[in-house]
Amino acid sequence: MWRPACPEVPWDAMNKKTVRDVDVKGKTVLLRVDFNVPFEKGTTRISDDGRIRAGLPTIDYLRQQGAKVIVCSHLGRPRGKPVEELRMRPVAERLGELLGTPVAYVRECVGPEVVRHARQLEPGQVLVLENPRFYPEEEQNAPSFAKELASLAQVYVNDAFAAAHRAHASTEGVAHYLPAVAGLLMEKEVDVLGRVLEKPKRPLVAVLGGAKVSDKIAVLDHLLELVDAMLVGGGMAATFLVAQGRSVGSSLVEPERVALTAELARRARERGVELLLPRDVVVAERLEPGTRHCTVPVDGAIEDGWAIADIGPQTADQFAARIAQAGTVVWNGPLGVFEVPPFDQGTLAIARAMATCKGTTVVGGGSTAEAVESMGMADKMTHVSTGGGASLEFLEGKVLPGVAALLDK
């Protein structure tokens, strides 16, 4: 079978200096992390500290090297003004608990009070800044704001892969004023995702789900040049099925994307890429618990008033069999409405198949990562990305500003 050669990862993403490549002993380091954690509703109690835990290796490394660590992370979407519920104090407190040492916190991100706290740091100590998104200059990537942040430190380390697709002052702008390198989490993300695109173990299988084709156009287009097989499920499969002349009832269909999906199918045939669509689907009257639902083959007509809620068991078995043969699997997007049982069974089947696959298994961030975490499967994957939009854009071949700005080796 003819296979296109894999193009190299764009913009030399895998050739970036890391925290191991610079001397940080006794230096003040500005560390950008992604501690955008969820809280229990109506409280400041953190409901999932996974993102903080993911950043601990870099912080531990910097402390062991004798660096003074200034931690910077956004929290939520305050849209350029202070929001009491989105202050970083609870994050700083939880970080201190996890590190087993007091962590200082300052209710500003720049200014004299921040400078005072920064100058008081001793080697191995940690200071958490206030939410930079309280300042409109952060998302504007204002040079003056980036320069003021940079003035606090001598080295910049970016460990926030999940925010690397944003050209903000704390993710990209600061890198213009300080030696800028990747943290250990950033290094792992870029390395694993980069190898999927550049040097995958074959066969390379992509599993793509989610609600809309329009959300995945770029990644569909890019991966079609690289993969041996593409398995499509989720709500977006309805548009592919319509392109085949199938009736999908009241399922969400993007009429303006039907021709595109037909073109993608044609290209797959030309390139020898195996494109697998659902054979059977679970349909429901409403996408909510307790609603009437049943499994139907896709070659029969789905009645109006019923919509696709999940892939069916035959499809799950077919997809699982293909995954079992893979050298590398990359998965982005749930295969059904996994938040509403019983429409989580297709997603669960894929998670189980990947958990037992002997090849490299990579889960894109966002809702896909949330699904495997909730199903207790995350530790059975080779890598679960911490970046939702960032991992998707990386797989699309786009430049991530927060990575591109780092020093090359």
User: What was the pLDDT predicted at 366?
Assistant: 80
* Same domain, residue pair 125 and 255: no
Q: Which residue has the tokens 């499994």?
A: 295
Which among 3, 17, 89, 212 is annotated as catalytic?
212
Determine the structural domain holding residue 307 and report its residue range: 193-395
Which among 76, 352, 389, 398 is annotated as catalytic?
389
Backbone torsions φ then ψ of 129, nearest 5 degrees: -80, 165
pLDDT tens for 214-246 read 988 989 999 999 999 999 999 999 999 999 999
Q: How many domains does the chain have?
A: 2
pLDDT tens for 103-129 read 999 999 999 999 999 999 999 999 999
The sign of the torsion formed by the CA atoms of 29, 33, 36, 39 equals negative
From CA 73, how far away is CA 171, in angstroms rounded? 9
Please indicate whether residue 212 is annotated as part of the active site: yes
CB 390 within 8 A of CB 400: yes
Residues in contact with 300: Cβ distance below 8 Å, sequence separation at least 6, in sequence order: none
Please indicate whether residue 389 is annotated as part of the active site: yes
* Same domain, residue pair 272 and 349: yes
From CA 95, how far away is CA 170, in angstroms rounded? 20
What is the residue-wise DSSP string for 270-306?
A: HHT-EEE--SEEEEESSSSTT--EEEEETTSPBPTT-
From CA 268, how far away is CA 289, in angstroms rounded? 37
Please indicate whether residue 51 is annotated as part of the active site: yes
Which among 16, 32, 51, 322 is annotated as catalytic?
51
* Same domain, residue pair 306 and 249: yes
Q: Which residue has the tokens 């992604």?
A: 34
* Same domain, residue pair 141 and 214: no
Please indicate whether residue 246 is annotated as part of the active site: no
Is pTM beyond 0.85? Reply is yes
* Same domain, residue pair 156 and 274: no
User: What was the pLDDT predicted at 11?
Assistant: 46
* Same domain, residue pair 238 and 387: yes
pLDDT tens for 339-383 read 999 999 999 999 999 999 999 999 987 889 889 988 899 999 999
Domain presence at residue 401: no
* Same domain, residue pair 215 and 252: yes
Bridge partners of residue 281, in order along the sequence: 296, 311
Domain presence at residue 171: yes
pLDDT of residue 3 exceeding 90? no
* Same domain, residue pair 167 and 204: no
CATH number, domain with residue 88: 3.40.50.1260
